[in-house]
Amino acid sequence: MNLKILFTLIGLIVLFLLVFVVQAMMRMGMNQFFDNMPMPAATITAAEAETAAWARGINAVGTARAVNGTQLTTEAAGIVTEIRFSSGDTVEKGQILLRLDDDTDRAELQSLRAAAELTRLDLDRTERLHRQGSISKAELDRAKSQADQASGALNAQQARVNQKTIRAPFAGQLGIRQVDLGEYLSPGTPVVSLQQLDPVYLEFSLPEQRLADIKLDMTVRAEVDAWPGEAFEGVITALEPGINPGTRNFMIQATLDNPEQKLRAGMFARVTIDLGDADDVVAIPQTAVSYNPYGNAVFVIVENEGKNGEPHLTVNRRFVRTGRTLGDMVAILEGLEPGDRVATSGLLKLSNNATVKISDEAEPPASTAPTPDNS
């Protein structure tokens, strides 16, 4: 009986050992299979590094600003009695735009004018009497003081009357009228905006490293989204003498002729500054570059001979030093030679020595002057 139990236990132990051995062998086989299983080829698009002549220049973004621009407001309170402009009018310097009720002020002005005339006549008589020795010098001084006070009061009242008439401080184009006839206006109430749009300023900033490259009278070219394909040219007319300590940038102001007034204050503009002769660069599409904190890299396509004689494509990661960009392209300063083929899409699924195949589908061409369809 004891032998039976012993043999049964031995049999069970052997059976469990066989099960464990079989499972271990199956697990080892599966691991070997997955380790040696060939990875499917990643589908990518490719482009060839090419030599190109790029004009030397600096690109920036800026904002258009009127040479003269202001929001006209009232200096004095009053009721609007006359409006002499319409929204969007072009006006000349000194042109009357609006009048406020000034009857009371003009009546006061007439009274002060009469008082000033009286003090002037009294001063003339006092001067004659002083020359004759009939009155003292103190009485003459008192007459002069009264005449000066009357003249000052008259000038102050005249200024108050002038404040009731709003004139254009410079020639330009008006905006939308913000007041109505008969409306009571308090001091500082906005009336209408006025902008001088020809010429127009274009203000933009550059890093302090570019300070040595920028000079007065250099030509700039600006493009705006409102007028695609059209370039506006001007010259640099002012440089900010200081550097912004927060951004380490300095401000530049260019002046552009704007006879058709296509450029408006507040417009966003892309600015290009021409620095002279063109440079020969090795250029690739920007989509081919993987930008990383530890360095920029590209995947270079390597063609090997496969087992059946057909080309076998793999990629190698190569670190590069990038330069300036132009449109969809980027200049490669180090790391690539003309003719090298690089992957331009699917970079996230690539690694060193990964097998790839190039897609037959056409991709949008990379250009130094792209013109996307915004319709």
The topology under which CATH files domain 42-54+279-358 is 2.40.420
Residue type, 229: G
- Cα separation, 350 vs 115, whole angstroms: 95
Q: Are 223 and 270 in contact (CB under 8 A)?
A: yes
Within 133-212, residue ranges assigned H as helices are 137-163
Omega before residue 199 within 30° of 0, cis? yes
Domain ranges of the chain: 42-54+279-358, 59-66+193-278, 75-101+166-188, 103-163
The predicted pLDDT at position 105 comes to 78
- pLDDT interval class at 279 (50, 70, 90): confident
Separation between Cα atoms, residue 290 and residue 227, nearest integer Å: 34
Q: How many whole angstroms separate alpha carbon 341 and alpha carbon 313?
A: 11
pLDDT tens digits, 282-330: 999 999 999 888 889 999 999 877 666 667 788 899 999 998 888 788 9
Residue 364 pLDDT exceeds 70: no
- Say if residue 362's pLDDT is above 60: no
- Least confident stretch, 18-22, 112-116, 234-238: 18-22
CATH of 59-66+193-278, one of 2.40.170.20, 2.40.40.20, 2.60.120.680, 2.40.30.170: 2.40.30.170
What integer pLDDT is reported at residue 177 of this predicted model?
A: 92
For domain 75-101+166-188, say whether CATH 2.40.50.100 is its number: yes
Contact 67, 199 (CB under 8 A): yes
Give the strand pairing for 354-358 and 42-44.
parallel
pLDDT of residue 368: 61
Mean pLDDT throughout 40-68?
A: 86
